[in-house]
Amino acid sequence: MTAKIEVAALSKSFGDHQVLRSVNMSVGSGEVVALIGPSGSGKSTLLRCLNLLVTPDGGRVRVGGQSLDFGTSSKLPGTASLAKFRAGTGMVFQQFNLFPHKTVLGNVMEGPLTVRRMPRAEAETLARALLGKVGLAEKADQYPARLSGGQKQRVAIARALAMQPEIMLFDEATSALDPELVGEVLNVMRELAAEGMTMVIVTHEIAFAREVADRVVFLRDGVIVEDGPAKQVIDAPQQEATQAFLSHFHRQRDN
């Protein structure tokens, strides 16, 4: 399997707080990796380094054919090359971040129109097809404020897919949802995984990670502590820190 995402010696500090410590990680083409770890361990920061919403202090990030180096010797990439890099990576946020001044259809068309400069008719066809895929074809003309959380998140996924990205990044995509709405979003993610989309998923849904992810990466204090096949890491973690985290997690869920 050729690696689709490659992260080498990635480091990031906020002030004097080192959040990522020389992280190395690779994700194969079509692979689904779940990123788990305690709060503040750097999961979101690592994910946001993959599309450069957070600029790493050092190391290398490669996604598909695009690679950028960071560090003292290399100068920071300009806004145009950052934008080009991000256009190939889709991201889904915990808080959806839909554009409230645009309709559902407008949200999904925005990337193709503005970034890809796709003709309007073509963008609309693409957007309607994607809305159908996430089960929201009939909501195309509504504004996001009228949707439920689960529907909003599905629109956000369609919006990201409209850029026809090489990879999809999910940062706790279901954490802001009422429990009864989690399933519909996980279903869409499950489908994407089955279609062979390369995905990195930050999640607290351990059961979902076990079921859908090929690999689970456990992060603590900015270091990858354990990285292995999903079922192995979750059912029989090798590292003490992973065991402690998962047992704590199971206790929480049992309460």
Partner 1 sequence: MYQWDFSFIWSYRWLFVNGTVVTLLFTFGIVVLGLAVGLFSGLLRLSRFAPLRWLSQAYVEVFRCTPVLVQLVWFYYALPILSGIEMSATTAGVLALSLYGGAFYSEIIRGGINSIEPGQTEAALALGMTPSQSMRRIVLPQALKRMVPPLMNQSIIQLKNTSLVSVLAVPDLLYQGQAVAHDSYRPLEIYTLVAVIYFVILFPLTLLVGRLERRLARAD
The closest alpha carbon to 79, from 30, 115, 36, belongs to 115
Nearer to ligand ATP, 40 or 71 (CB): 40
Counting every residue, how long is the chain? Answer: 255
Q: How far apart are CA 216 and CA 179, in angstroms?
A: 23
Question: Closest separation between CB of residue 25 and partner 1, Å?
Answer: 20
The closest alpha carbon to 159, from 88, 92, 101, belongs to 92
Beta bridge partners of 200: 33, 169
Question: Closest separation between CB of residue 249 and partner 1, Å?
Answer: 27
Q: How far apart are CA 191 and CA 217, in angstroms?
A: 21
Stretch that binds ligand ATP, among 37-45, 120-128, 160-168, 226-234 (CB under 6 A): 37-45
Stretch that binds partner 1, among 14-22, 82-90, 174-182, 239-247 (CB under 8 A): 82-90
Q: What is the dihedral of CA 172, 177, 180, 181, to 10 degrees?
A: -80
Binding-site member from 88, 135, 149, 183 for partner 1 (CB under 8 A): 88
- Separation in Å, CA 187 to CA 9, 134, 156, 157, 208: 34, 9, 14, 12, 10
The verdict on 86 binding ligand ATP (CB under 6 A) reads no
Q: At 133, list the tokens.
A: 């895929």
Q: How far apart are CA 170 and CA 162, in angstroms?
A: 15
Q: At 60, list the tokens.
A: 């290398």
Residue 88 binding partner per list Mg ion, partner 1, ligand ATP, none, with a CB distance cut-off of 5 to 8 Å that depends on partner kind? partner 1
Residue 183 binding partner per list Mg ion, partner 1, ligand ATP, none, with a CB distance cut-off of 5 to 8 Å that depends on partner kind? none
The verdict on 45 binding ligand ATP (CB under 6 A) reads yes
Q: How far apart are CA 1 and CA 28, in angstroms?
A: 6
Which burial class, exposed, middle or buried, applies to 253 when counting CB atoms under 10 A from its CB (0-12, 13-18, 19+)?
A: exposed
Residue 177 binding partner per list Mg ion, ligand ATP, partner 1, none, with a CB distance cut-off of 5 to 8 Å that depends on partner kind? none
The verdict on 77 binding partner 1 (CB under 8 A) reads no
The verdict on 151 binding partner 1 (CB under 8 A) reads no
Binding-site member from 110, 214, 221, 227 for partner 1 (CB under 8 A): 110
The verdict on 45 binding Mg ion (CB under 5 A) reads no
Residue 37 binding partner per list Mg ion, partner 1, ligand ATP, none, with a CB distance cut-off of 5 to 8 Å that depends on partner kind? ligand ATP
The verdict on 56 binding ligand ATP (CB under 6 A) reads no
Enumerate binding residues for ligand ATP (CB under 6 A).
Answer: 14, 19, 37, 39-45
Enumerate binding residues for partner 1 (CB under 8 A).
Answer: 51, 53, 79-80, 82-84, 86-91, 93, 95, 97-101, 110-111, 114-115, 156, 159-160, 163
